[in-house]
Amino acid sequence: MNIGIDRISFHTSHYYVDLKTLAEVRSVEVNKYYVGIGQEKMGIPSPDEDVVTLAASAAYPLMQAGELDEVELLLFATESGIDQSKSAGVYVHGLLEMPARCRTVELKQACYSGTAGLQLAIAFVARNPGKKALVIASDIARYELGSPGEATQGCGSVAMLVSANPRLLAIEPESGYVTEDVMDFWRPNYRSEAFVDGKYSTMVYIHTLVESWKQYAELTGRLLSDFDRFCYHIPFTKMAEKAHQKLCRKFKVEADNATMYTLLDESLRYSRVTGNCYSGSMYVGLASLLETAAEDLSGKRVGFYSYGSGCVGEFFSGVVQPGYGDFLFADQHRNLLENRTELTYQQYEDIFNYGVPTDGGEYVFPQYKTGPFRFSGISQHKREYESLVD
């Protein structure tokens, strides 16, 4: 029985900063961002948007299509959690009016947790083949103003329905995975921005990729040339390109520019304009690949490398299913990305500094343009959400 991703839907903020605006203010040559790190825009969440509203908005098209009725497991992956106790998934379950018979839990291991969710969901479906699982990876990437990481900020959420006989992508059973206790990127409970040892993090990303790939190759006997496309974790698009080049170099496979473009570029298009979505970013890459590829990808094998700082890495693979094109949300995603509002530098900084109050007071947040749900305020230490749809 094939098990894998049956539908995929993503959402990002309505607001973005073009990195040329940031480059001007920071007195940086713009091509450092556009070319050197490979990013054009970064999605900026408004004060009334958080990982819950991004997630519920991502999953909303699935609800509208009646796809959530058989879901009995909701796994919410994030490293931008909003509560130390209650899962952000429970809020989403409520906003989407999902059936009460559902296990809901939040998962955390930096950007890797979306993949942990996917693999756990596959195990659930293997045991309950008639049932479905909803995996949501939702994050807001936030670094200090003026820091090297600033240009790699972004936000977004990906909702994936996992089922038997999936219509999009069958996940193959073999995986290579590695855990190592390192401090490349972390966010203590008292901080709203991450600490990051940037250069070191890129080295650990690649080291873990090589170790994960070696395991995967040994288990499957496959070579890098057995893959038609790759989807990498995308903190910034240049990271994915560099990682693939290094992997090819290490295992003596040619990776000229044309080959690199074919193998990777389609998967990087959305991330170039959303920025890092942490736990969701590799799956934003998958949506981008499936929805923007000019070629029919039916039957093509895709290699995935998921990385979460701290760290855990995993290499696995999937095969695109025939007829997948009829089950994408490509038009909605194109509209979403094409109809966003550009922020000035001052608007960006004001939003960045807005900060969710922590003093237990009563707050009503200003209304910005969001998806179908918004974070409307706080009352008696409880977050309040508003549905903008009937």
Give the closest residue to 291 by CA, choosing from 7, 2, 4, 3.
Answer: 7
- The residues carrying an active-site annotation are 79, 111, 233
Could you tell me if 84 and 52 are in contact, meaning their C-beta atoms sit under 8 angstroms apart? Answer: no
CB of 108 to ligand CAA, least distance (A): 14
CB of 96 to ligand CAA, least distance (A): 27
For ligand CAA, which residue has the nearest CB? 36
Instruction: State both tokens at 135.
Output: 């995996």
User: DSSP 3-state assignment of 53?
Assistant: helix
Task: Answer left, alpha or beta for residue 233, where phi above 0 means left and psi between -120 and 50 means alpha.
Answer: beta
Q: Is the bond preceding 311 in cis, omega lying within 30 degrees of 0? A: yes
User: Residue 184's beta-bridge partner residues?
Assistant: none
143 is in an annotated binding site: yes
108 is in an annotated binding site: no
Tell me the HSE value of 129 on the side-chain side, using a 13 A CA sphere.
5
Under the rule (CB under 6 A), what is the footprint of ligand CAA?
A: 29, 31-32, 35-37, 111, 148-149, 152, 184-185, 196, 198-199, 201-202, 205, 233, 235-236, 239, 276, 278, 307, 309
Could you tell me if 236 and 152 are in contact, meaning their C-beta atoms sit under 8 angstroms apart? Answer: yes
Residue whose CB is less far from ligand CAA, 184 or 265: 184
CB of 36 to ligand CAA, least distance (A): 2
For the four alpha carbons of 244, 259, 37 and 45, in that order, the dihedral sign comes to negative
Residue whose CB is less far from ligand CAA, 229 or 233: 233
Residue whose CB is less far from ligand CAA, 92 or 140: 140
User: Residue 264's beta-bridge partner residues?
Assistant: none
339 is in an annotated binding site: no
Alpha helices in 166-236 (DSSP H): 198-220
CB of 281 to ligand CAA, least distance (A): 7
Q: Residue ranges for the binding site for (3S)-3-hydroxy-3-methylglutaryl-CoA?
A: 143, 242, 276
Known binding-site positions: 143, 242, 276
